[in-house]
Amino acid sequence: VKTQLLIPAAGLGVRLGAEGPKALVPLAGKPMLAHTLERFRPLGLIPAAIVLIAPEHRALFETALDAAFPGMALRLVPGGAERQESVANGLAALDADTEIVVIHDAARPFVATASIQASIEAAAEFGAATVAIPSVDTILEGDADAFLTATPDRTRLWACQTPQTFRTEVIREAHRRARADGFLGTDDASLVRRIGGPVKLVHGTRLNMKLTTPDDRRLAELIAGGQFV
Complex with Mg ion: residue 79 or 127, whichever CB lies closer: 79
* Rounded Cα–Cα distance for residues 41 and 39 (Å): 6
Complex with ligand CTP: residue 154 or 206, whichever CB lies closer: 206
Stretch that binds ligand CTP, among 10-18, 93-101, 116-124, 191-199 (CB under 6 A): 10-18
Complex with ligand CTP: residue 13 or 127, whichever CB lies closer: 13
Helix (H) or strand (E) holding 33: helix 32-38
Bridge partners of residue 76, in order along the sequence: 51
Report the site for ligand CTP in 12-71 (rule: CB under 6 A).
12-16, 22-23, 52
Binding test (CB under 6 A) with ligand CTP, winner from 18, 20, 75, 82: 82
224 with 27: CB under 8 angstroms?
A: yes
Stretch that binds ligand CTP, among 5-13, 123-131, 163-171, 174-182 (CB under 6 A): 5-13
* Rounded Cα–Cα distance for residues 81 and 53 (Å): 10
CB neighbourhood size of 218 (10 A):
9
Report the site for Mg ion in 6-25 (rule: CB under 5 A).
11
* Rounded Cα–Cα distance for residues 3 and 22 (Å): 26
Contact positions toward Mg ion, by CB under 5 A? 11
